[in-house]
Amino acid sequence: MNYFSELLGLPVIDSTGQKIGVVNDLGIATGEVFPHVTSLAFRGPGKTPFMISWRKYVDHVDDNKVVLNGPATDIRFSYLQPDEVLLARDIMNKQIVDTQGLKVVRVNDIKLSSSGENQLRLLGAEVGARGLLRAISPLLERVVARIARALGHPLSEDIIAWSYMDLLERSIKQIKLSVSHKTLGELHPADIADIIEKLDPRLRGQVFAQLDTAQAAEAISEFDDEDIRSEMLEGLSDTDASSMLALMDPDDAAEIIDELDYEKAEKLLRLMGVKEEKAIRTLLGYAEDTAGRIMTSEFVALPATATVADAVEAIRELDDDFESIYYVYTTDSSGALTGVLSLRALIVAENTQRLRDLAFKDVVWVAPDLDQEEVAEEMAKYDLAAIPVCDENQHILGIVTVDDAMDVMTEEHAEDLKIAGVGAGDNTTGESAHAITWFAQRQFWLIIWAAACACIAAVLGHLRPGELLFIYPMAFMPVSLLSAARMVSFVKNYFLEYVHPDDDTKPFLGFAVQNTLMGIALAAVVYLCAQLVSAFAFRDPASVAAQAFHWCALIAAAVTLMSFLTAVFYLKVLFWRDDHDLETSGTALSLTATTVAAVLFSVASTSALLALAGA
């Protein structure tokens, strides 16, 4: 007897050979690594449910029946114990979290193993395709497994051991799980956040509510999705939310509070302790995306005259939830930053040595209003694990640690990718899907070309039937569309590689001149190429065909020039959106430019050809 699904529905026979019911559930004791089956639930005559102790009454189990060791009249019924879980009711078909594979899955079957004469143990939950097929029909499972083996891809069992299962709905069922159990709460907060993001909204709230405040605080700052983050916060009472925020690193808390509306934010801030409130309010005073906003006020700074022993003592006295320590900073009598020591230097040094003799004097620091991306670049340049943020008197306000700097890098990278026209999540996709995405993002000009040509053909065919005039604009339009797309990618590259100067002036004039020259050059190339073709294609330059060809080439060149003349506006849009912290999709920009070019070209060429044909 291997699978729970096969056990369900078996007849229960007493020692006299009389059938007293059919199996409909099994209870297990949760306190073991491979839990024993402790009770048998069966449905007696008239659908009455009974539950009896497995250990006391079950004699043996075989493929066709469960046999009891006594006559039906001797059996005493029992009740579900608080530490028991019912397999069919609580586990089968339910969603569970695989805390080893970090996935949310549904239990398709349960694997059991018999040990000894009448003992059954639970091995784990089957969550793969085999369990699904077996639950439909054991025959189907065997057939599919054989076919799969013949094809060289054997269907493997996908079993999650009991010790790696977390029952999502246990808060409702009031089940106490064993201590040996690795539950969601023991995972890394980043993994908890990942799993929560994969759940339905309701379960999300329930699982989040199971975490203790410290875990919740860690997990909430790990959510990638701002909507989920505010959803989780809204699910908490104000007091809980506020104490959770107080537990977080002040910079992470500030980031979350900044996303809330004013009233809620004020309420939460007022509910927390004075120290945390002050720290968060100070950070909120700095503009978004600056060093001041992402710094933490949790750092160690001592007078330069202190000894190594003082410093070690100071570190020992810190709270448990203090941010990681990488460096100890030294200050002069006025409190200004004078030097920095690594932890290694402290450990190696003698206890009595003065910090000023050991400290590295040439400290790199940043101002609080510096852009966060540049802070990260500074840290990368000097290989720092933390960088101090100082005011104009060199007083330390806080430090930016490497974890925040890495977040900044990831965030900016994703934004840049989006402007460049590639989604950040696309690198996980398969090859075939990638080709389609690539087409949708880059080669959509083909669809615009087709649509515009259809319009031109409809108009020209209606007004001048039978003259096939639409062929000329159809031939030349791709030049205009491609150069418009080219122009946008040029603007995007310029924007991404642009380094902000300190005085914050924007290089619009230079850029406009540069693009105008480029546009003129390209337009000339287009026109001259067309002339080259025309010289060989048309004997009579005055014929309608030659004229139409000539005009379409001219219009294509003009639209190309026009595209490059508007480049500076696209750059302005990019800068404006960047200043207002709006994300810009590069694909949308090139879609706009290509559509504008298509419309301009279609209107101009259609009217030119109508004028020509009418004349």
Name the minimum Å distance from CB 231 to other proteins: 7
Phi, psi of 13, rounded to the nearest 5 degrees: -115, 135
Phi, psi of 520, rounded to the nearest 5 degrees: -60, -45
> What's the sign of the alpha-carbon dihedral 486, 487, 489, 494?
positive
Choose between 108 and 515: whose C-beta lies nearer to other proteins: 108
Name the minimum Å distance from CB 595 to other proteins: 16
Name the minimum Å distance from CB 181 to other proteins: 21
Would you tell me which residues interact with other proteins (CB under 8 A)?
Answer: 92-95, 103-108, 127, 132, 135-137, 198, 200-205, 209, 231, 234-238, 240, 425-426, 428-430, 433, 440
- Alpha carbons 387 and 364: distance in angstroms, whole number: 7
Phi, psi of 37, rounded to the nearest 5 degrees: -75, 125
DSSP states of 60-107: EE-SS-EEESS-GGG-------TTEEEIIIIITT-EEEETTTTEEEE-
Choose between 104 and 484: whose C-beta lies nearer to other proteins: 104
Strands (E), 102-191: 103-106, 109-115, 119-126, 159-161, 165-167
Tokens of 271: 């509910």
Choose between 105 and 193: whose C-beta lies nearer to other proteins: 105
Name the minimum Å distance from CB 602 to other proteins: 18
Name the minimum Å distance from CB 49 to other proteins: 13
How many Cβ atoms sit within 10 Å of the Cβ of residue 397?
A: 19
What secondary structure, in 3-state letters, does 462-520 show? HHCCCCCCCHHHHHHHHHHHHHHHHHHHHHHHHHHHCCCCCCCCCCHHHHHHHHHHHHH
- Alpha carbons 109 and 134: distance in angstroms, whole number: 8
Tokens of 168: 């999502």
Name the minimum Å distance from CB 103 to other proteins: 8
Choose between 23 and 127: whose C-beta lies nearer to other proteins: 127
Choose between 121 and 204: whose C-beta lies nearer to other proteins: 204
Tokens of 68: 């009891």
The answer to whether residues 457 and 471 touch, using CB atoms and an 8 Å cutoff, is: no
Choose between 244 and 559: whose C-beta lies nearer to other proteins: 244
- Alpha carbons 325 and 315: distance in angstroms, whole number: 8
Name the minimum Å distance from CB 320 to other proteins: 23
- Alpha carbons 79 and 70: distance in angstroms, whole number: 19
User: What CA–CA distances, in Å, run from 43 to 12, 49, 86, 588?
Assistant: 9, 5, 14, 63
How many Cβ atoms sit within 10 Å of the Cβ of residue 451?
A: 13
Choose between 479 and 598: whose C-beta lies nearer to other proteins: 598
Name the minimum Å distance from CB 226 to other proteins: 12
- Alpha carbons 82 and 88: distance in angstroms, whole number: 16
Choose between 380 and 424: whose C-beta lies nearer to other proteins: 424
Name the minimum Å distance from CB 266 to other proteins: 16
Nearest Cα residue to 366 out of 346, 384, 350: 384
Choose between 31 and 205: whose C-beta lies nearer to other proteins: 205
> What's the sign of the alpha-carbon dihedral 67, 70, 73, 75?
negative
Name the minimum Å distance from CB 121 to other proteins: 23
Name the minimum Å distance from CB 265 to other proteins: 16
Choose between 173 and 500: whose C-beta lies nearer to other proteins: 173
Choose between 74 and 266: whose C-beta lies nearer to other proteins: 266
The secondary structure element, H or E, covering residue 588 is helix 586-614
